Structures are given as structure tokens and as C-alpha cells.
Amino acid sequence: MANLDKESAVSVNLTNPEEGKWGMVIDRDLCTGCQACVAACAMENNLAFVGEELSGNGRSMHWIRIERFWEGEYPEVKATPFEPTMCQQCGYAPCEPVCPAYATVHSQDQQLNLQVYNRCVGTRYCGNNCPYQVRSFNWFDYERPEPLNNQFNPDVTVRRRGVMEKCTFCIQRIKRAEDTARAEGREVADGEFAPACAQACPANAIVFGRVDKPETVVSQLAKQARGVKRLEELGTFPHVTYLKAG
């Protein structure tokens, strides 16, 4: 199946899943763990506010989170650097084959993992099968008390109860940039737009762009020796590269 996809992608001159189209580079040395990306993502993508109690029950909803691990035994513990973790937009995503409703599908056009909300029936198989644990589930219809309803982004679906959701690499911004570029009869320029997290990052730790074009900033950064993919051994071909501490 995987090889078939690659062949068909090559045959029509599209990017292949292993290489990807859009990608991200996150520099762990630069990230200060300030959570600006988390806030920006929630605002951009109409994320619900689940509240303290539900968060405590493990039902928090974030498309991006700042991950940090403790290494060693107490009291000799050492914290790892901050790692903003969002959907890695795998080339061969473990979430996709387990969906019985084809709600999470691979976009051959954008090489992203899509979540089609109107197809999702809420089995949560995808969330359980995601090695990065980046999917969140709408357990309830969450309230947006006045005046929060005024800050909805009209370009993003407001998800209802019983639907899985995850980072989309801000596909609405990708689409808008592509549409503008097409209207002006040109290609999307490198750095012309960025997802909300990359835009909000005060340390410029998150860089976004085309990974299939060698001249882009993100491709240059990803090629560095410090670049690592997370859980690479699983063969998921994630499109987010982390630059580990020198």
C-alpha cells in the first residue's frame, strides 16, 4: 500500500509521502517554553476551553503542547529541553489505517494528514494509535461564553462533540497563501506565510516551509547534523524535524 502510494505520487509529479511537502523545523536550543505557540494555536484554530476539571481528567484540548521530560532518578533529575509537540504530519501515519470511517486521510495534494470532521464518528482509534499522542477528542460541546464567540476564526470549522481533532499545520493559511499566489500567477514564496505557532514564536524556534524544495530555509535547517525526527524507528516519516542541543 505504502509503495503504491509513492509510485502513484511520483507518476503524477507530486511530492511523495516520505519526503513530504510542508515541513517544520523546531530548534530546541531556541525554545524557551513560553507557551506563546500554544496560545496562538488555540486562538487560530477555534480550540475549545475545557476547563480545569476536565483537563485534570486528561481531556485537555491542545493541538500543540510544550513537552519536557525528567531524566534520572529523584533527586538527581535533569530536565530535557523544551519540545513543542504537535502533529508530526507523518508520511505513513499510524492514525490513518485504523480509522473505520476514513475520517483521517492522507492528503496526496498537500502531503498532510487530514482530519475530516464531518466524517469522524468518534471511535478514537486514531488517537490511541498515534505514537506522538497529539490528537485530542471533543468529549463535550464546550461553552464559549460571551464575548469569546466573537473571536472565532471563520476559516476553521468549529468542531462539535464526538469528533477527533489535531494540528493541521494551519491548512487554512496554506490554502489562503496558495490561493493568493495562484490569483497573482506565481508560486508561494518561502516564508510568505507561517502557521500560528511559528508566527507567534518570539524566539523563532519554529520554522515552516516547503521541505521538498532544497533552497528553502526549512530544508536547509533540516539537513543539519543536529536534526532528528521523533520516533524515527517506527517508519512514520514525520515531517517535523527537531534540532537537538549541540
- From CA 132, how far away is CA 169, in angstroms rounded? 15
Judged by CB under 8 A, which of 35, 60, 108, 153 binds another protein? 108
Q: How far apart are the first and last CA of the chain?
A: 38
Verify binding: residue 155, another protein, rule CB under 8 A: yes
Tell me which residue of 40, 68, 50, 51 sits closest to 167, measured CA to CA.
40
Judged by CB under 8 A, which of 30, 105, 181, 188 binds another protein? 105
Contact 227, 30 (CB under 8 A): no
Residues 158-187, one symbol each (x = binds another protein by CB under 8 A, - = not), give x---------x--xx--x---x--xx----
Verify binding: residue 153, another protein, rule CB under 8 A: no
**Residues 6 or more apart from 215 whose CB is under 8 A from it?**
190
Contacting range for another protein; rule: CB under 8 A; set: 67-75, 76-84, 91-99, 151-159: 151-159
Contact 20, 229 (CB under 8 A): no
Judged by CB under 8 A, which of 30, 43, 66, 156 binds another protein? 156
Closest CB to another protein among 68 and 182?
182
In the complex, least distance from residue 245 CB atom to another protein, rounded to whole angstroms: 34
Contact 123, 114 (CB under 8 A): no
Rg (CA), the chain: 18
In the complex, least distance from residue 107 CB atom to another protein, rounded to whole angstroms: 4
Closest CB to another protein among 39 and 156?
156
Phi-psi region of 46 (alpha: psi -120 to 50; beta: other; left: phi over 0): left
- From CA 65, how far away is CA 87, in angstroms rounded? 10
Judged by CB under 8 A, which of 129, 157, 199, 230 binds another protein? 157
C-alpha cell at 128: 490511541
Verify binding: residue 112, another protein, rule CB under 8 A: yes
C-alpha cell at 156: 476553521
Verify binding: residue 110, another protein, rule CB under 8 A: yes
In the complex, least distance from residue 36 CB atom to another protein, rounded to whole angstroms: 23
In the complex, least distance from residue 159 CB atom to another protein, rounded to whole angstroms: 9
Quickly list H helices, 141-202: 171-183, 196-200
- From CA 130, how far away is CA 88, in angstroms rounded? 10
In the complex, least distance from residue 180 CB atom to another protein, rounded to whole angstroms: 9
Closest CB to another protein among 104 and 219?
104
Residues that bind another protein (CB under 8 A): 11-14, 105, 107-110, 112, 114, 116-118, 155-158, 168, 171-172, 175, 179, 182-183
